[in-house]
Amino acid sequence: MAGVSFTTVSRFETGKGGLHHSSAEAIRIALEGRGIQFLRSGDVSVGDGVAIKPPSQP
């Protein structure tokens, strides 16, 4: 789908290796092409979704 090898993704997911910027971009573009949205703080999704709630301030 993204043209990134299984080994590259597996090593990144398991913390055994980093991810080159070009590989990260290829994965991002492929996921966005399938409808995944990456939101920055304060952005609002278009449609249903899940977001990480920031930790509460003491």
Q: How far apart are CA 26 and CA 2, in angstroms?
A: 5
Q: Domain tally for the chain? A: 1
Give the domain range for residue 18: 1-58
Prediction pTM value: 0.68
46: confidence class by pLDDT, cuts 50, 70, 90: confident
Q: 8-31 pLDDT, tens per residue?
A: 999 999 999 999 999 999 999 998
Given a contact cutoff of 8 angstroms between Cβ atoms, the answer to whether 28 and 1 are in contact is: no
Q: Which is nearest to 48 in space by CA: 34, 40, 37?
A: 37
Q: How far apart are CA 21 and CA 1, in angstroms?
A: 17
